């Protein structure tokens, strides 16, 4: 037991403690990119800091990593064969750090740790992605639209019955994508709330510089999800169904295309990505549309604008704010030289506010031309597998919500979730109908 704690402590020290210390020192010295990483105030409004970063250059070093908030640079790096994901071979520790990493051991299979699709490059990445691409194709997503509309209608019936007040995140925005992905994967619906709780812990692990307490919580929740998942695989082996998890288990057991860790990692990533991301799109969208009644009125007058509005929400308030890439060999990218081994933090949320790409970027405009050119889903080989699904869910979910409750209004301040990579709300009190003056 004591040894487990020591190993966990080593893992925390290597992945978070050292970063927290180094970045904390730079934050004290007034370095804005360090504040973006550690200062909780940045969770509320990171956009001025992105503007500042963009003004300082296309690739800005803070002494630890390079940073960019330029759209062309972000896209070029994400698509460049000279860059790989952070968990890849070029991102692995050497020397004393490697020895410590061995001592720290593996811990549970986090969403961004190898062999996760998010942190592997080709050829393994290609092999994982091939197994699940078809289930998320445009055709498959189109086939899920009617069922998603039914789920939205059922949830809205529940809100109407319990009204007039609701928590839009708890009662709607989280449950809609959670129900869709649980049905797609063949995971039990009665576990949705439990998945959401474990998912919130897993989401923490995406941030660098976690506190010891948050790190412990995230490892505990990921382990619980992993234990549940391996138990569920046993059930699937006995009673396979027509769903994604059954197909993955088959790929593992029948023809050995996946190891046990790869199977578990892909299954957990799909579940967690399905639970933890689209909730932010729906929540951020509801907040933006209630704050901009003229934009909501434009959608009510012309519902054909909805798909563009979803892209504008993704651009304006991106649910995934950043990602990272490691330079694998000395390279020139978008005209800038980068050395092998450099880590670049790509501020997706900042690139989406780049005025060189989006004129008047701080204006929320559901009819904006070119809104869909955002990098909210990344770009290149790791482009979000669930992008089509998320956009469909966002469109169906937001449209159904405002069709049913056109006067939806805030009933108190919404609360931002504490995560930095994932940007959304964890509470949003609303009144479903307009209050009538006494």
Residue pointed to by tokens 């994932």: 422
For ligand HEM, the binding residues in 158-217 under the rule CB under 6 A are: 181
C-beta closer to ligand HEM: residue 17 or 111: 111
SS3 assignment, position 427 = strand
Q: Which of 66, 39, 72, 64 is nearest to 53 (CA)?
A: 66
Closest contact distance (angstroms) between CB of 319 and ligand HEM is 4
Question: Interaction with ligand HEM in 292-311: which residues (CB under 6 A)?
Answer: none
SS3 category, 92: coil
- Would you say 107 or 274 has its CB closer to ligand HEM? 274
Residue 371 beta carbon to ligand HEM: minimum distance, rounded to whole angstroms: 14
Q: Does 281 bind ligand HEM (CB under 6 A)?
A: yes
Of all residues in this chain, which one has the CB nearest to ligand HEM in the complex?
A: 386
Other beta carbons within 10 angstroms of residue 75's beta carbon come to 19
**Are the CB atoms for 294 and 435 separated by under 8 Å?**
no
When binding is defined by CB under 6 A, the residue of 23, 74, 76, 118 that contacts ligand HEM is: 118
By rule CB under 6 A, what string of x and - marks binding of each residue 388-417 to ligand HEM?
Answer: -xx---------------------------
End-to-end CA distance of the chain: 63
Environment class of residue 189 by beta-carbon count within 10 Å: exposed (0-12), middle (13-18) or buried (19+)? exposed
**122-161 residues near ligand HEM, rule: CB under 6 A:** 129
Spell out the alpha helix ranges (H) of 277-386.
Answer: 278-291, 293-301, 306-316, 348-351
Alpha-carbon span 300 to 374, nearest angstrom = 24
E strands, 348-387, in order? none
- From the list 204-212, 231-239, 270-278, 300-308, the region that binds ligand HEM by CB under 6 A is 270-278
**377 lies in the site for ligand HEM, by CB under 6 A:** yes
- Residue selected from 114, 209, 361, 386 as contacting ligand HEM according to rule CB under 6 A: 386
Three-class DSSP category at 322? strand
Of 378, 401, 428, 432, the one binding ligand HEM (CB under 6 A) is 378
Q: Is the peptide bond before 123 cis (omega within 30 degrees of 0)?
A: yes
Residues that bind ligand HEM (CB under 6 A): 117-118, 129, 181, 269-270, 273-274, 277-278, 281, 319-320, 323, 376-378, 382, 384-386, 389-390
């Amino acid at each position: 037991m004591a040894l487990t704690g020591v190993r966990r402590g080593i893992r925390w020290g290597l992945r978070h403690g050292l970063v927290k210390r180094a970045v904390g020192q730079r934050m004290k010295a007034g370095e804005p990119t360090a504040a973006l990483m550690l200062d909780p105030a940045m969770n509320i409004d990171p956009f001025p800091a992105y503007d500042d970063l963009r003004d300082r250059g296309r690739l800005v070093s803070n002494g630890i990593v390079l940073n960019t908030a330029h759209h062309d640079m972000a896209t070029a790096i994400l698509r460049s064969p000279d860059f790989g994901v952070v968990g890849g071979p070029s991102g692995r520790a050497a020397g004393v750090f490697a020895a410590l990493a061995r001592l720290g051991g593996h811990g549970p299979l986090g969403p961004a740790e190898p062999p996760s699709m998010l942190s592997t490059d080709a050829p393994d990445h290609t092999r994982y992605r091939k197994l699940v691409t078809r289930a998320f194709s445009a055709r498959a997503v189109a086939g899920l639209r009617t069922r998603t509309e039914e789920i939205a209608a059922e949830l809205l019936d529940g809100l109407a019955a319990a009204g007039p007040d609701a928590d839009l995140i708890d009662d709607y925005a989280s449950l809609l994508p959670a129900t869709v992905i649980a049905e797609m994967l063949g995971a039990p619906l009665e576990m949705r709330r439990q998945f959401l709780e474990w998912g919130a812990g897993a989401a923490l692990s995406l941030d660098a510089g976690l506190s010891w307490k948050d790190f412990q919580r995230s490892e505990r929740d990921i382990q619980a999800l992993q234990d549940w998942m391996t138990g569920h695989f046993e059930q699937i082996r006995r009673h396979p169904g027509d769903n994604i998890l059954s197909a993955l288990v088959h790929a593992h057991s029948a023809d050995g295309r996946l190891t046990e860790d790869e199977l578990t990692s892909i299954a957990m990533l799909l579940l967690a990505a399905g639970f933890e991301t689209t909730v932010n799109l729906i929540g951020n969208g509801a907040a933006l549309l209630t704050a901009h009644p003229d934009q909501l009125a434009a959608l009510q007058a012309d519902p054909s604008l909805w798909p563009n509005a979803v892209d504008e929400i993704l651009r304006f308030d991106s649910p995934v704010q950043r990602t990272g890439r490691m330079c694998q060999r000395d390279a020139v990218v978008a005209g800038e030289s980068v050395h092998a081994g450099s880590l670049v933090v790509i501020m997706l949320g900042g690139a989406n506010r780049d005025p060189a790409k989006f004129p008047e970027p701080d204006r929320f405009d559901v009819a904006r031309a070119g809104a869909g050119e955002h990098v909210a889903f990344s770009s290149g080989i790791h482009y979000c597998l669930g992008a089509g699904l998320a956009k469909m869910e966002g469109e169906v979910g937001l449209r159904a919500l405002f069709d049913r409750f056109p006067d939806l209004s805030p009933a108190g301040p919404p609360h931002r979730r504490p995560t930095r990579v994932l940007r959304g709300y964890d509470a949003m009190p609303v009144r479903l109908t307009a209050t009538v003056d006494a």
